[in-house]
Structure 1
């Protein structure tokens, strides 16, 4: 049985960012240029909002103490945005019911990843729910826009290679994006130490992987 730590790795940026790029490339292969651009706007916009909330807390202590909220979970946002869309495109040439089941499965995978963030104590429930809602909105808005997308042929070899790439990427060492965000936040705020959840005041801390 897959462990929670292994499951959470599928929401990491080393997996989901290439997957998001693959979705863009896939749409471009089908000459869906505007849809590809729209997907990128939605995904990058979601990423920007995640980073903004983290910088706001790390640099200035802006959060919601009663909800234990210090920033939107990036893992939860990316997983819920990427996997439903990925399943939809993989099943684009199948019957509508099959595509719907695929999207549902994508959401199921994403929610399992979201739950893992709470189980391993990487995020609070409020932070994970915020990421799940944001990612869900991104995927639903995109899928609504893609409702009229015509099916286009994709080699099974390409699909297999893509799936293998996702699994392989989940085994890579996490990128220290949380440390990079901390550095940016401290530079912008002019502080020597970040705000942390404990005490809601500047204090040295080891961050989880973004």
Structure 2
């Protein structure tokens, strides 16, 4: 049985960024240029919002203490944005019902990843839910835009290679995105120490949540 730690790794940026890139590549291979651009805008916009909420808390302590909210979960947002779209496109040449099933499977996977963030104490419930809502909005907006997308021929080998690359990426060493965000937050805020949820005061960071 897959562990919660392994499951949560599928929401990491080393997995979801290549998956988002694969989605862009598949759309471009199908000459769906406008959708490819729209997908990039949605995904990058979601990432920017996640980073902004984290910088706001780490740099200035801006959050919702009553909800234990210190920023949107990046894992939850990326997983919920990427996997429904990924599986929808994999099933693009199938019947509409199968496309819907693919997106549903993607949402199921993302929910499991979101839950894992809470189980391993990487995020509070409010942060995971916020990530799920933001990622869900991104995937739903994109899927509505792609509803009239005609099936295009993409090599099955390209699809298999893309999916295998996504799976293999889960074994890569995580990149220190939390540290990078902390460095930026301290630079722009001018503070010497980051804010943390422990006491909601500036202390040395010890909560890895990105």
C-alpha deviation, 1:209, in angstroms: 5.3
1: distance between equivalents of 2:173 and 2:143?
31
Structure-to-structure mapping, 1:32-71, within 5 angstroms: 32-71=32-71
> What is the match of residue 155 of structure 1?
155
C-alpha deviation, 1:207, in angstroms: 3.6
CA pair 168-209 structure 1, distance change in 2 beyond 3 A: farther
> What is the match of residue 181 of structure 1?
181
> What is the match of residue 17 of structure 1?
17
C-alpha deviation, 1:206, in angstroms: 2.3
Structure 2 gaps, min length 5:
none
Secondary structure of the 1:108 match is helix
Map Cα deviations across residues 43-88 of structure 1 (whole Å, 9 max, x no partner). 0000000000000000000000000000000000000000000000
How large is the Cα RMSD of the aligned pairs?
A: 0.7
2: distance between equivalents of 1:145 and 1:155?
23
Q: For the Cα contact (< 8 Å) 2:59–2:186, is it kept in 1?
A: yes
1: distance between equivalents of 2:207 and 2:190?
19
> What is the match of residue 95 of structure 1?
95
Count of residue pairs brought into register by the alignment: 210
Divergent runs of 4+, >3 A: none
2: distance between equivalents of 1:165 and 1:137?
26
The TM-score normalised by the length of structure 2 is 0.99
Matched, 1:80 2:88: no
Q: For the Cα contact (< 8 Å) 2:8–2:116, is it kept in 1?
A: yes
The TM-score normalised by the length of structure 1 is 0.99
Q: For the Cα contact (< 8 Å) 2:92–2:99, is it kept in 1?
A: yes
Q: For the Cα contact (< 8 Å) 1:176–1:209, is it kept in 2?
A: no
2: distance between equivalents of 1:26 and 1:131?
25
Q: For the Cα contact (< 8 Å) 1:46–1:138, is it kept in 2?
A: yes
> What is the match of residue 191 of structure 1?
191
Q: For the Cα contact (< 8 Å) 2:186–2:194, is it kept in 1?
A: yes
Q: For the Cα contact (< 8 Å) 1:80–1:110, is it kept in 2?
A: yes
2: distance between equivalents of 1:164 and 1:29?
18
